[in-house]
A and B are shown apart, each in its own frame.
Chain A
Amino acid sequence: MKDNNYLKAELTDLIQSDESTWNFIQQGSLDGIWYWDLEDPANEWMSPELWELFGIDPATKTHCPDEWQDIIFPEDLALALKNFEAHCADPECPYDQVVRYRHADGSVVWVRCRGLAIRDETGKPIRMLGAHTDLTAVKKSEENARNGWRAAELANSELKSFAYSVSHDMKAPANTLKLLLDELEHLGLGSERSEAQSILDMAQKTVTRMQTQIDDILDYTSVIGFEPKLEPLDLSKVAADAVAALQADIRGANGEVQIGPLPWVDGAATQMNILFQNLINNAIKFHRDGVAPVVRLDAETDPANGKVTIRFTDNGIGIPEADQSRIFALFQRLHTRENFAGTGIGLPLCLRIAMIHQGTLEVASNPGEGSCFSLILPAKSGGEIS
């Protein structure tokens, strides 16, 4: 259907008679125009916008095709030239491709480059008119989406392996309970009271263990995949709170916790409380027979790397070097339940918390003398140790 609207005819005239109309259209919809003389290919006019997109001052350019061929990616140039030849030979083959240019600042500029050959009466191409459209923003968001997807995949596979470990670890006490109940059934109701009672005691302990395990797993899941708001946090207060919460255990072991000057950091209070409680609790729990546990907390700032190290030093049983790599892995334990209770969640949880705070957790130990856990965090400006 032919478009006979009077405005269309008027616009066509306007474009031809008034350059500002044409400029408005090309500047408003495109990111550069080029017009190439195919009869004298050393001449190619390029619009100022074309160069500005690449961070180049148009005044420094001389309308020579070498100038763009120098900054386009070589493999993309090859593609463009191939399409150019195909389009010249056959107007049905479009000249249309996405290519990359190197911006003056070194970054990549993605450009959709389209062109139309102007032909003489014989059909021979004598000029080529081209237009650039900047796709960099689209490409960047594509890349962000891809990175987000990769991160989600990673988190997902981590969750899968976590779920596997959890279900596996939860099976162990369920299995013990089954054994104990089978035994009770075998003994029968007429069995000796004391024997049945001892089985029941073991069953009770096993259920308590399951509960502790579930509580610890809940603590752990409340921390994974969660980005807390970091606020100024006084670690002296966190340490004091942890000691108060562990008072009964510390007194029960005849232990002592010495708290030296500690800094302010940026942190999430709930998480930092969990970390301090776990490390102090471990230091008390893994004490040597007949040696009252003494735990010392102190801190040191390294102005050179902007980090602060908070040390938790104990005089406990220590950790042999060969086992030190295991202690931060989920559900790994170094001792049987008979010797030291535990779920193998505490230290992995502490490491997680340190990592969420852009920090890390390290251990140094001499078996039979004690261990020292170092929590290394970014130092807070104005968070001097006090």
Chain B
Amino acid sequence: MTDQASIGCAMIVDDEPFDQMMYERILKRSGLVDQVIGFPYAAKALEYLAREDRPKVDVIFLDINMPRMNGFEFLEAASRDLGPRFVKVCVVMLTTSIAPEDRARAASFEAVRDFLSKPLSHEDVVHVANLLAEVE
């Protein structure tokens, strides 16, 4: 367990309140995550990321289908507005969407490192922690 990589701060962007709640439990229970911040609207997450005084966000679990700003629009806006600051963040798409064109579209963003199918499992958390260690 000692050499298991960990995730400092995880952000969840997902409009489903029950999903948010369960993801938070899974992330915290894994013992690999220090802090979890959740946003039901992508625009709010974007506002938070733009703040100068915010703590470091290591990974964003991002849904695609959300009210108003969807996952793709979030990626576009964040890449445009935050530039290199955003690319440093590791984005993991967490979605029910299985369409290859959705996958390709998300993969075209530099910040997007992986794709996970909902629902999130403990194994997924371990996988993302290892991914983060590799990136760093």
Q: Which residues of A contact B (CB under 8 A)?
A: 164, 168-169, 171-172, 175-176, 178-180, 182-183, 186, 202, 205-206, 323, 326, 331-338
Contact = CB atoms under 8 A, between A and B. Distances in A.
B119 interface: yes
A193 B16 CA distance: 24
B119 A182 contact: yes
Label chain B's interface by main secondary structure.
loop
A98 B24 CA distance: 73
B18 to A, nearest CB: 5
A176 B16 contact: yes
Contacts of A334: 67-68
A43 B68 CA distance: 76
B67 A175 contact: no
Query: What 10 pairs between A and B have smallest CB-CB spacing?
Result: A179-B22, A171-B96, A333-B67, A336-B40, A175-B118, A336-B15, A179-B119, A338-B17, A202-B18, A176-B18
18 contacts: A172-B65, A172-B96, A175-B96, A179-B22, A179-B119, A180-B18, A183-B22, A183-B25, A186-B29, A323-B68, A333-B15, A333-B67, A334-B67, A334-B68, A336-B16, A336-B17, A337-B15, A338-B17
A175 B18 CA distance: 10
Contact of B22 (A180, A323, A336): A180
Interface residues of B, number: 22
A113 to B, nearest CB: 51
A44 to B, nearest CB: 62
Contacts of A333: 15, 67
Interface string B41-54: 10000000000000
A168 B118 CA distance: 12
Residue of B18, B22, B29, B119 with most partner-chain A CB within 10 A: B18
Contacts of B34: none
Contact of A178 (B21, B23, B119): B119
Interface string B82-107: 00000000000000111100000000
A363 B110 CA distance: 38
B98 to A, nearest CB: 8
A373 to B, nearest CB: 19
